[in-house]
A and B are shown apart, each in its own frame.
Chain A
Amino acid sequence: MRDDLRVIWLIASRELRDQFRDWRILSPLLILTLAFPVLMNEVAHQAVAFFAKYGTNLIADRLVPFSVLIIGFFPITISLVVALESFVGEKERGTIEPLLSAPLENWQLYFGKLLVGILTPLAASFLSIGLYMFMVSHQRLHMPSFYTMIMLMTLTIAHAILMVSAAIVISAQSTSVRAANLLASFIVIPVAVLMQGESVLMFWGTDQVLWLAVAAVIVMSGLLVRLGISHFEREYLLGREFDSLNWRWILRTFWVSFRGEAKSPFGWYRLEVRKVMRRLAVPMLIILTLAVMGYFASYDWAMVNIPRLLPNASTQDMKELVNGARNSTGLAQTGQHLSAAFIFGNNVRATFLILLGGAVSFSVLGLIVYLVNVGLIGAVLGIFKLLGYSPAVLFAAGLLPHGIFEIPALMLSSAIVLQIGAALVTPQTGKSMGQVVLELLADWAKIFLGVVIPLLAVAAVIEAYVTPSILLSVMK
Chain B
Amino acid sequence: MIETQDLSKQFNDFWAVEGVTLSVKPGQILALLGQNGAGKTTTVRMLTALLSPTRGWARVAGYDVSRQGGKVRAAVGVLTEQHGLYMRMTGVEYLDFFGKVYRLDADGRKSRSDYLLDYFGLAQASSHRIGEYSKGMRQKLALARALMHEPPVLLLDEPTSAMDPESARLVRDEIARLKSSQRTIVICTHNLAEAETLADIIAIIYKGRILMTGTLDELKQKVLGTPEYEALFSSPWKLNGMKVPDGATLIDRSDFRLRFRIENPREINPLMLRELAAMNAPLVAFQEVPRSLEQVYLKVMAEVQASRPEMIHA
* Interface residue from B12, B45, B103 paired with A238 (Cβ < 8 Å): B45
Q: Which residue of B lies closest to A235 (CB)?
A: B51
Q: Does B207 contact A (CB under 8 A)?
A: no
The stretch of B83-91, B110-118, B259-267 that contacts the partner chain: B83-91
Instruction: Judge whether B52 and A101 touch: CB under 8 Å.
Output: no
Rounded to whole Å, the gap between the CB of A150 and the closest CB of chain B is 37
Q: Does A21 contact B (CB under 8 A)?
A: yes
Q: Does B124 contact A (CB under 8 A)?
A: no
Point out the residues of chain B lying under 8 angstroms from A475, CB to CB: none
Instruction: Judge whether A97 and B88 touch: CB under 8 Å.
Output: no
Instruction: Judge whether B97 and A10 touch: CB under 8 Å.
Output: yes
Instruction: Judge whether A104 and B82 touch: CB under 8 Å.
Output: no
Point out the residues of chain B lying under 8 angstroms from A437, CB to CB: none
**Chain A 331-350 near chain B by CB (<8 Å), digits 1 or 0:** 00000000000000000000
Given A105-B70, A235-B50, A430-B52, A98 contacting B78 (CB threshold 8 A)? yes
Instruction: Judge whether A103 and B73 touch: CB under 8 Å.
Output: yes
Q: Does A141 contact B (CB under 8 A)?
A: no
Rounded to whole Å, the gap between the CB of B16 and the closest CB of chain A is 9
Point out the residues of chain A lying under 8 angstroms from B48, CB to CB: 101
Q: Does B213 contact A (CB under 8 A)?
A: no
Q: Does B102 contact A (CB under 8 A)?
A: yes
Instruction: Judge whether A21 and B88 touch: CB under 8 Å.
Output: yes
Q: Which residue of A lies closest to B79 (CB)?
A: A98
A243-259 residues at the B interface, CB under 8 angstroms: 246, 249
Rounded to whole Å, the gap between the CB of A39 and the closest CB of chain B is 32
Rounded to whole Å, the gap between the CB of B2 and the closest CB of chain A is 15
**Chain B 132-147 near chain A by CB (<8 Å), digits 1 or 0:** 0000000000100100
Given A18-B86, A21-B88, A235-B52, A104 contacting B80 (CB threshold 8 A)? no
Give the CA-CA distance A238 to B76 in the complex, in Å: 18
Point out the residues of chain B lying under 8 angstroms from A10, CB to CB: 97, 100-101
Give the CA-CA distance A94 to B76 in the complex, in Å: 19
Instruction: Judge whether B84 and A103 touch: CB under 8 Å.
Output: no
Q: Does A100 contact B (CB under 8 A)?
A: yes
Q: Which residue of A lies closest to B16 (CB)?
A: A239
Give the CA-CA distance A239 to B12 in the complex, in Å: 11
Rounded to whole Å, the gap between the CB of B146 and the closest CB of chain A is 8
Given A238-B51, A249-B12, A430-B52, A98 contacting B102 (CB threshold 8 A)? no
**Chain A 152-168 near chain B by CB (<8 Å), digits 1 or 0:** 00000000000000000
Point out the residues of chain B lying under 8 angstroms from A399, CB to CB: none
Q: Does A262 contact B (CB under 8 A)?
A: no
Q: Does A96 contact B (CB under 8 A)?
A: yes
Give the CA-CA distance A112 to B273 in the complex, in Å: 69
B60-104 residues at the A interface, CB under 8 angstroms: 70-71, 73-74, 76, 78, 80-86, 88-89, 97-98, 100-103
Point out the residues of chain B lying under 8 angstroms from A100, CB to CB: 50
Q: Does A7 contact B (CB under 8 A)?
A: yes
Give the CA-CA distance A10 to B96 in the complex, in Å: 11
Rounded to whole Å, the gap between the CB of A9 and the closest CB of chain B is 10
Give the CA-CA distance A14 to B145 in the complex, in Å: 16
**Chain B 23-53 near chain A by CB (<8 Å), digits 1 or 0:** 0000000000000000000000100101110
Rounded to whole Å, the gap between the CB of A1 and the closest CB of chain B is 14
Give the A interface residue count (CB, 8 A).
Answer: 27
Give the B interface residue count (CB, 8 A).
Answer: 30
Instruction: Judge whether A98 and B51 touch: CB under 8 Å.
Output: no
Give the CA-CA distance A7 to B97 in the complex, in Å: 10
Instruction: Judge whether A239 and B51 touch: CB under 8 Å.
Output: yes
Given A97-B50, A235-B50, A18 contacting B102 (CB threshold 8 A)? no
Instruction: Judge whether B51 and A97 touch: CB under 8 Å.
Output: no
Given A235-B51, A239-B51, A94 contacting B83 (CB threshold 8 A)? yes
B278-295 residues at the A interface, CB under 8 angstroms: none
Which among B84, B97, B100, B142 has the greatest number of chain A C-beta atoms within 10 A? B84
Point out the residues of chain B lying under 8 angstroms from A235, CB to CB: 50-52
Q: Does A234 contact B (CB under 8 A)?
A: yes
* Interface residue from B11, B86, B88, B101 paired with A239 (Cβ < 8 Å): B11
Point out the residues of chain B lying under 8 angstroms from A105, CB to CB: 70
Instruction: Judge whether A98 and B70 touch: CB under 8 Å.
Output: no
**Chain A 1-35 near chain B by CB (<8 Å), digits 1 or 0:** 00100010010001001100110000000000000
Instruction: Judge whether B84 and A96 touch: CB under 8 Å.
Output: yes
Instruction: Judge whether B85 and A95 touch: CB under 8 Å.
Output: yes
Q: Which residue of A lies closest to B44 (CB)?
A: A101
**Chain A 92-118 near chain B by CB (<8 Å), digits 1 or 0:** 001111111111110000000000000
Give the CA-CA distance A101 to B65 in the complex, in Å: 12
Give the CA-CA distance A112 to B113 in the complex, in Å: 24
Instruction: Judge whether B97 and A14 touch: CB under 8 Å.
Output: yes
A63-97 residues at the B interface, CB under 8 angstroms: 94-97
Q: Which residue of A lies closest to B12 (CB)?
A: A249
Instruction: Judge whether A95 and B84 touch: CB under 8 Å.
Output: yes
Instruction: Judge whether B52 and A102 touch: CB under 8 Å.
Output: no
Instruction: Judge whether B80 and A22 touch: CB under 8 Å.
Output: no
Give the CA-CA distance A275 to B273 in the complex, in Å: 81
Point out the residues of chain A lying under 8 angstroms from B100, CB to CB: 7, 10
Instruction: Judge whether A102 and B101 touch: CB under 8 Å.
Output: yes
Point out the residues of chain B lying under 8 angstroms from A99, CB to CB: 84, 101
**Chain A 216-253 near chain B by CB (<8 Å), digits 1 or 0:** 00000000000000000011001100000010010000
Given A94-B82, A105-B70, A234-B50, A7 contacting B101 (CB threshold 8 A)? yes
Q: Which residue of B lies closest to A15 (CB)?
A: B86
Rounded to whole Å, the gap between the CB of A196 and the closest CB of chain B is 39
Give the CA-CA distance A151 to B215 in the complex, in Å: 71
Point out the residues of chain A lying under 8 angstroms from B71, CB to CB: 103
**Chain A 270-299 near chain B by CB (<8 Å), digits 1 or 0:** 000000000000000000000000000000
Given contacts A7-B101, A14-B86, A235-B52, could you give 5 more A-B pairs where the C-beta distance is less than 8 Å?
Answer: A18-B86, A97-B84, A101-B76, A103-B70, A103-B103
Could you give 23 example pairs across A and B, Cβ below 8 Å? A10-B101, A14-B89, A21-B88, A94-B83, A95-B85, A97-B81, A97-B84, A98-B80, A98-B145, A100-B50, A101-B48, A102-B98, A103-B70, A103-B71, A103-B73, A103-B74, A103-B101, A104-B73, A235-B50, A238-B50, A238-B51, A239-B11, A430-B52
What residues of chain B have their CB less than 8 Å away from a CB belonging to chain A?
11-12, 45, 48, 50-52, 70-71, 73-74, 76, 78, 80-86, 88-89, 97-98, 100-103, 142, 145
